[in-house]
Amino acid sequence: MKTVYDFTVKDRQGSDVSLSEYRGKVLLIVNTATSCGFTPHYEPLEEMYRDMKDRGFEILDFPCNQFANQAPGSDEEIHEFCTLKFGTEFPQFKKIDVNGETADPLFAWLAAEKPFEGFGKGLKLAALKKFSDMNNKQFGEKAYIKWNFTKFLIDREGRVVARFEPTADMKEVRDAVVAAL
């Protein structure tokens, strides 16, 4: 059975990083953007990271510009924004695609393990779904991720145990991380 440890990704400098380096840790893998309405999620993410990194928790941040061009900067510009505005300390990787023919294999696998089940209910969520559907039409069946700040929780054995859409309450995400630890 495949696990997250079977994947290799690129760090901000373009060097290969085997995710097996995170073996035995609880991971939260997130596709992010610096100019999105969900960008403030960096704050509770960093708080979770600081509170729980000593217990074997890591957040792996993958910037992506496929959603309305909301992460237009270079890898270094994105990193500088995140560290200066939100004080982020968790690992940030090279900007990637999460959808389409050029989708990073990690995100295609994550989405296959925990497919999209919807954004929830309400007017804001309906509006996001409409915008997401329009944006992701270009990717067809390979629209694995629906919007920025989709989060995947990985247990200590490297299995995907939960998927949180950007509309999920961050307290719910935190509670799931605590339970996984």
- Domain-wise residue ranges, the chain: 4-180
Enter the tokens of residue 113.
């393990």
| CB contact at 8 A, 150 and 163 | yes
For the CA atoms of 59, 131, 100, 111, what is the dihedral angle to 10 degrees? 40
3-state percent helix, strand, coil for the chain, nearest multiple of 5: 40, 20, 40
pLDDT the model gives residue 101 = 93
User: Which of 3.50.50.60, 3.40.30.10, 1.10.3720.10, 3.40.50.300 is the CATH number of 4-180?
Assistant: 3.40.30.10
- Non-local CB neighbours of 78 within 8 Å, separated by 6+ positions: 34, 63, 71, 92, 95
64 as an active site residue: the answer is: no
Pick the catalytic residue from 9, 28, 36, 110: 36
Give every residue of the chain whose pLDDT is below 50, as ranges: none
Q: What is the pTM of this model?
A: 0.92
Strands 26-32 and 57-63: parallel
The kind and range of the H/E element at 74 are none
pLDDT the model gives residue 75 = 87
DSSP state of 96: B
- Rounded to 5°, the CA angle 106-110-32 comes to 75
pLDDT the model gives residue 117 = 87
